[in-house]
Amino acid sequence: MVHTLDVTALRCPLTWVKTKLALERLQPGETLEVAVSGEAVESVPRSAREAGHAVAVEGSLVRIVRR
Amino acid sequence: MSGSSRRGLFRDLAAAAARVAIPDEKPKEPARAPLLNDAELDRYSRQLLLPEFTEMAQLSLRDASVLVVGAGALGSPVAMYLAGAGVGRLGIADDDTVEVSNLHRQLLHFTPDVGTPKTESAASKLRFLNPEIIVEPYQVRVDEANAPGLVEGQDLVVDCSDSFATRYAVNKACCEAGIDLVEGGVVGWSGLVMTIVPGATACYRCAFPTEPADARSCAEAGVLGPAAGVIASLQALEALKFLTGVQPTLVDEFLSVDLATLDTIRVNVRRRADCPDCGDPC
């Protein structure tokens, strides 16, 4: 199951807060696809990598596999 | 076999080959919404950003009842930090009224509050600080008689009182009721902090069986506002760590802080079997 989240209406750091909380509720190995915009295109993947998750970015979509 | 059914067979084979080559995309569904509402996410965002501080940690604070004993130099910052962090029900007990000599160190009280009860002054500020929580003022001097009733039902007590008599009363009540306690004290240039898990770790009386003969109060020894603030901040930090479980707390030892030199010493303390407050009744 891939889970989706849209944080395009939010500003930093709430973009990562919402992403972090969504990740907390996934099982390890599950994927979260986050639609991002603005500075979150940079900051959300960076925060996700710092938290130890596997991250792939495709344009405005950040795919995070929960560690 | 007719030509049309052969075409159908080829079509099915082609579709099967395509499915192998291009696996079905996994089904998608929106991530579950957080249990915290948007206003809470915003208010607590800076602590939720900490990797260890999960949504469950925040919910633990929201569900917690904490009693702060004393609304003075230690109680003010403790209550402010706990209210700000989102402790859902915050009691504050004190029987004093605000005096002008309190204001240099007791951050919840301002000059227009002089003469009003400290609990009233404190509660009004705390409700401004965080309207999402319940603040319960108790206009009483905590003693051995009323401490058991005050600590009952609390998840944690933070003792910010200014006398050994109150400290021992709070310690005893918490030990008897099995309610966790963060102790703190500051006089002159020395302060200490200690967290107590009754029945599991050393209690305040295990560490300090009797009141020191030369015990002095702030009214006698004096204190700088920020010196009290350092100890209060450590107490609030211990309380938040304890309530959320995000970091270990200071148990079976106390932290002694020399606020003049900024030296700190961690002193190990053992439970005493003969402790009148927490010892084994057998």
pLDDT, tens digit (0-9, with 9 covering 90-100), for B74-90 = 999 999 999 999 999 99
Are residues A51 and B51, on separate chains, in Cβ contact within 8 Å? yes
pLDDT, tens digit (0-9, with 9 covering 90-100), for B167-223 = 999 999 999 999 999 999 999 999 999 999 999 999 999 999 998 877 776 667 899
Q: How confident is the model at residue B11 (pLDDT cuts 50, 70, 90)?
A: confident
The stretch B112-139 carries a mean pLDDT of 98
What pLDDT score does B15 carry? 73
What pLDDT score does B7 carry? 75
User: Would you state the structure tokens that stand for residue B35, as one six-digit string?
Assistant: 């249990």
Q: In this model, does residue B98 exceed pLDDT 90?
A: yes
The percent of residues above 70 in pLDDT, for chain B, comes to 94
Given B160, B174, B218, B278, the catalytic residue: B218
Are residues B28 and A3, on separate chains, in Cβ contact within 8 Å? yes
Residue among B28, B54, B56 minimizing CB distance to A4: B28
pLDDT, tens digit (0-9, with 9 covering 90-100), for B219-257 = 678 999 999 999 999 999 999 999 999 998 999 999 999
pLDDT, tens digit (0-9, with 9 covering 90-100), for A7-37 = 999 999 999 999 999 999 999 999 999 999 9
Q: What is the SS3 assignment for B262?
A: coil
Q: How far is CA B120 from CA A66, B71, B127, B135, B138, in A?
A: 48, 10, 11, 10, 9
Nearest CA of chain B to the CA of A51: how many Å? Answer: 7
ipTM of model over 0.85: yes
Q: In this model, does residue B282 exceed pLDDT 50?
A: no
What pLDDT score does B118 carry? 98
Give CA–CA dist B277/B168, Å, rounded: 9
Residue among A2, A26, A51 minimizing CB distance to B26: A2
- Which amino acid belongs to residue A51? A
B218 is catalytic: yes
> What chain A residue is nearest to B27 in terms of C-alpha separation?
A1
What pLDDT score does B218 carry? 65
- Partner B contacted by A33 (CB < 8 A): yes
DSSP sequence for B159-199: E--S-HHHHHHHHHHHHHHT-EEEEEEEEBTEEEEEEE-TT
pLDDT, tens digit (0-9, with 9 covering 90-100), for B23-54 = 667 789 999 888 999 999 999 999 999 999 99
Give CA–CA dist B199/B180, Å, rounded: 10
Give CA–CA dist B161/B74, Å, rounded: 8
Could you tell me if B166 and B69 are in contact, meaning their C-beta atoms sit under 8 angstroms apart? yes
Model's pTM, two decimal places? 0.90
Mutate to test the interface with B, among A1, A11, A20 (most CBs of B within 10 A): A20
Q: How confident is the model at residue B1 (pLDDT cuts 50, 70, 90)?
A: very low
Give CA–CA dist B78/B94, Å, rounded: 14
What pLDDT score does B19 carry? 66
| HEC string for B18-76 | HHHHCCCCCCEEECCCCCCCHHHHHHCHHHHCCCCCCHHHHHHHHCCEEEEECCCCCHH
Are residues B26 and A20, on separate chains, in Cβ contact within 8 Å? no
User: Would you state the structure tokens that stand for residue B96, as one six-digit string?
Assistant: 């004093």
Q: In this model, does residue B8 exceed pLDDT 60?
A: yes
Residues of A within 8 A of B29 (CB-CB) are 1-4
